[in-house]
Structure 1
Amino acid sequence: MTEHLNADPAELAKFSELAHRWWDPDSEFRPLHQINPLRLEWINQITSLSGQCVLDVGCGGGILADSMARKGADVLGIDLASKALKVARLHALEAGTPRVRYREVSVEELAREAPSSFDTVTCMEMLEHVPDPHSVVEACSRLVKPGGWVFFSTINRNAKSFALAIVAAEYMLRMLPRGTHEYAKFIQPSELAAACRQAGLDVIHTRGMEHNPLSGRYWLSADTSVNYLFATRRPEA
């Protein structure tokens, strides 16, 4: 069945293999734990999550989904990696996280099933792992209500991002397992902006995310040359 889905079986297997380590802040997922407060607060500042119906696309083990639920949102996290979803459900149960649930379903299938159902949609660190990111952007646009927000984060494609996100992060500093990213799948901001426009989304805010490997600190800035975030909005009907 996976050959008909917008998913790379090798990518799903890779993240499933690491699933049991998802909530270990000292594991391969340490960068996700470190950047999560930044992206969570950025989203919450733009659109207050409390009381919202939120979809987290490519939720993995639930790091962002769980934190958005703790901000008062009703959250659905979706992914195609079965083991990661089991970890997400188990963590929600153990931590007593309210208002969060998880489903194994593609974003395209959910868009056909429940269009215009969510106040906010997030798709973070996921687009660079799928065969057809344009299809994901379009599905996210269909899932959000008119006037609602869709947030994306991904990695730029240039010499600097290759040096920092692959050579440094995976081989020199070993922040991530080797093979986590493929340079050819990185997405330039202009390409993502074009995909958003084609999907009927207006790009409202753009931010870069920087990292100091010596201090371990992450911060948001205007520099989108490596990691960057988009806040987009579906126009009112």
Structure 2
Amino acid sequence: MTVESNFERFWETTLSPTTQASVIKHWREHELTAVLRGNTVVMHLQDFSSVAGLQILDVGCGYGGVSIALALAGASVVGTDFDAQRLEGAKIRVHEDHPGSNVRLVRSAGESLPFADNSFDVVVCNDVLEHVQSHDSTLAGIARVLRPGGWLYIQFPNRFSPENLKKDPHYGLRGVSILPPWAGRLYVVRLRRRSPSYDVGTFPVAGKVLQVLHALGIETIQYWPSPRRTLGWLTPALRAYRLNTVPIITAIGRKS
């Protein structure tokens, strides 16, 4: 038995017999490739600063894939998540799959991070905002614990993206991304029976998120997909439209 299969075996114990096979297949691939996908986060950050030797907070670390990738690149990482089951899986992954990696795991909601002001050189918030109760409180907490001159990596799905409206990135259902949490739960769990649980809150809107970060003293240095060059007075309007309609937005910001 390989070490990685210990995590896979744990993950399989979390499945419900009522979860549809297509959902299981999607999330199995997603979770088992998490460390590999975490290397993309490292790559984006290292375009601006080496992560080696830095203190990094991974907010909403889930099963720990991004945290491990950052640690393998030389960072000292604290991963937080409110879901105790996910933290248990992250512990298995950290201690059995990558023993010795510099990752500490803490149970905490994104809205109430238990760390002192200016504690971290980098904060990562990867596919988390749509799962928290308050976008603004989570972003304020991130800004509080990030040191001046520190970097923020943030990625999230756009609420009004036509692609997300057509097919929700979590459950593969039409229209879920614009629903409030109570309606999403009713639709996904009770009506469509796609999953026995529903852990998605309100999807964020990219333009609003970047505005909130600006007000908190975090300036967006770059975001992906990059804005296209346009001419004349349409430039701001077209950029704003594209920013708010791409399926997934990824941004790097820096605290002043």
In 2, distance between residues paired with 1:142 and 1:165? Answer: 31
Report what 1:101 is aligned to.
104
Aligned pair partner of 2:211 in 181, 189, 194: 194
Task: Please identify the structure whose Cα radius of gyration is greater.
Answer: 2
Aligned residues: 197
**Counting strand residues as a fraction of each chain, which structure ranks higher?**
1
**RMSD, aligned CA:** 3.0
Report what 1:145 is aligned to.
147
Structure 1 portions without partners, runs of 5+: 1-17, 210-221
Q: CA deviation at 1:98?
A: 1.8
Q: CA distance change for structure 1 residues 129 and 109 in 2, over 3 Å: closer, same or farther?
A: closer
Q: CA distance change for structure 1 residues 84 and 145 in 2, over 3 Å: closer, same or farther?
A: same
Aligned pair partner of 1:124 in 119, 123, 126: 126
Q: CA deviation at 1:82?
A: 0.8
TM-score normalised by length of structure 2: 0.68
Contact 1:19 1:84 in 2 (8 A): no
Task: Please give the secondary structure, in 1, of the residue aligned with 2:225.
Answer: strand
In 1, distance between residues paired with 2:133 and 2:89? Answer: 25
Residue by residue, what CA displacement relative to the aligned partner does 1:93-132 show, whole Å, maximum 9, x if unpaired? 1121421110112344335x41101000001100011121
Report what 1:20 is aligned to.
11
The AA in structure 2 aligned to 1:49 is: V
In 2, distance between residues paired with 1:86 and 1:68? Answer: 19
- Residue 55, structure 1, aligned to residue 57, structure 2: yes
TM-score normalised by length of structure 1: 0.73
Q: CA distance change for structure 1 residues 191 and 61 in 2, over 3 Å: closer, same or farther?
A: same
Residues 115-124 or 32-41, more deviating = 32-41
Aligned pair partner of 2:138 in 132, 136, 158: 136
Structure 2 portions without partners, runs of 5+: 1-8, 14-23, 175-193, 227-241
Task: Please give the secondary structure, in 2, of the residue aligned with 1:46.
Answer: coil
Residues 85-94 or 118-127, more deviating = 85-94
